Amino acid sequence: MRKAAVLALALAAPGLVAASGSLQAQSLYHLGRAATSAEIAAWDIDISPDGAGLPPGHGSVAEGKAIYALKCAACHGDHGQGKPMDALAGGLGTVFDAKSVRTVGSFWPYATTLYDYIRRAMPFPEPQSLSDSEVYAVSAYVLNLSGIVPDTAVLDAASLAKIVMPNRDRFVHDAKIDIGQPQPGAVPAVR
């Protein structure tokens, strides 16, 4: 009722709703509606490099191994060696070679990004079908494949955020004024 009254007012005096994008779009184009907070929450799942945004839950390498065999190995290989799709493990120490092998293990700077990526995008045919704890488990297994965490590891928000990835310090800031100057002495990971 109240919304209808606001819309009627908006139609009568469009200048009054200039600050309200969604109302304006509705009244001008008769398209769409404002997203609900539940819809926004479902999209708002990004995780920062420092781990901000990681959900509760935990998972072990052993649990991850079982999930991986069922839901990942067909595309990424039994041990993350790749084929038919990207390799997830291996290539450690090759980042500066002419034929570098860039995998999660050899190249990615943050383990937290691995969690974010798997949770939002994998398994490829069924994205966002894993529970938060299953994502911790399969992340632990993928990291274990590169020897970054031991066979006994159990990951949660705190322990995942503490992992230091092998290639972490080889990235440099892009010399754009909005994100800061290159760090002196840093070696670029990408030539």
- Kindly list the residues in this chain that would bind ligand HEC in the complex (CB under 6 A): 71-72, 74-76, 85-86, 88, 103-104, 114, 117-118, 122-125, 138, 142
In the complex with ligand HEC, the residue whose CB is nearer, 117 or 171, is: 117
| Least CB distance to ligand HEC at residue 107 (A) | 7
The beta strand positions in the chain, using DSSP E, are: 58-60, 154-156
Those residues whose C-beta lies under 8 Å from the C-beta of residue 76, and which sit 6 or more positions away, are 82, 85, 86, 87, 88
| Least CB distance to ligand HEC at residue 7 (A) | 41
In the complex with ligand HEC, the residue whose CB is nearer, 56 or 125, is: 125
| Least CB distance to ligand HEC at residue 130 (A) | 6
In the complex with ligand HEC, the residue whose CB is nearer, 90 or 123, is: 123
d(CA 89, CA 64): 15
| Least CB distance to ligand HEC at residue 80 (A) | 9
Q: Collapsing DSSP states into helix, strand and coil, what is residue 34?
A: coil
CA distances from 121 to 36, 45, 76, 130 (A): 23, 11, 14, 10
